Amino acid sequence: MPEEQYHRLQQRDTSEVKELWDLLDEVKDPEIPALSIWDLGILRDIERQGEHIIVTITPTYSGCPAMDTITEDVKAALNAKGYESIEVKMQLSPAWSSEWMSLEGRRKLRNYGVAPPEDAADSEDGLTPDAHTLCPHCGSRDTRLISEFGSTACKALFQCQACKETFDYFKKI
């Protein structure tokens, strides 16, 4: 297990409000509804001060348009369970990393038809490689980059030469 993963799981398991982490598993990323905000690593912390709950989230990319919706969804999920005093804080530092994505999240992403970061071949500069990202549809590595930028800031677009399908690749950042 990558170190980042281990620390996130530890944080969640030792939290005094473990039930709230479980509750927020139902909040999905509006752009990739297969993944929860926990899976993506957007959910950074949950604290409880008496009746007051503070949820800390971080954006994937600077201009991520999903943050406002996620903030509303977090509040709605907690409201539905009777929590009324909620504050959602946006934290910029440390900057979000694709390393934070949960192992479960990576599996879900692949099943959803999006190649997770580790399915890419290694590249010299650590950015998106031009070819050989594992196709989430047929498992071939005979693929090529079509565009560095995909349907959202966090994804690039590939095409598989074996099954001819195009697919999104979740970029390393």
Partner 1 sequence: MSDTIKDATLEYAVRLGDDANVLGHRISEWVSRGPFLEEDIAYANVALDYIGRARMFYGYAAELANDGRTEDDFAYMRDDRQYQNLLLMELPREDFAYSQVRQLFIDIYYGLMLPELVKSKDDTLAAIAAKAIKETRYHLRRSRDWVLRLGDGTEESHRRTQRAVDSLWGYTHEMFEMDDTEQRLADSGIGVDITKLRDEWHRQVSAILAEATLNLPEDGWAVRGGRIGYHTENLGHLLTEMQFVHRSYPGCQW
User: Using CB under 8 A as the criterion, which residues of the chain lie in contact with partner 1 when the complex forms?
Assistant: 59, 61-65, 92-96, 125, 127-128, 146-153, 157, 171, 173
Q: How far is the CB of 91 from partner 1 (least distance, A)?
A: 8
First vs last C-alpha separation in the chain: 19
Residue 82 vs 94, nearer CB to partner 1? 94
Query: Residue 104 corresponds to which tokens in the numbers above?
Result: 């479960």
Residue 127 vs 162, nearer CB to partner 1? 127
Residue 20 vs 40, nearer CB to partner 1? 40
Pair 55, 71: CB distance under 8 Å: no
Residue 37 vs 64, nearer CB to partner 1? 64
* Distance of alpha carbon 54 from alpha carbon 43, whole angstroms: 11
* Distance of alpha carbon 95 from alpha carbon 100, whole angstroms: 11
Q: How far is the CB of 116 from partner 1 (least distance, A)?
A: 18
Residue 34 vs 173, nearer CB to partner 1? 173
Residues contacting 57, CB < 8 A, separation 6+: 37, 42, 43, 44, 67, 70, 71, 74, 88, 89, 90, 91
Q: How far is the CB of 126 from partner 1 (least distance, A)?
A: 8
Q: How far is the CB of 97 from partner 1 (least distance, A)?
A: 8
Q: Which of 45, 150, 125, 32 is closest to 90 using CA atoms?
A: 45
Q: How far is the CB of 103 from partner 1 (least distance, A)?
A: 22
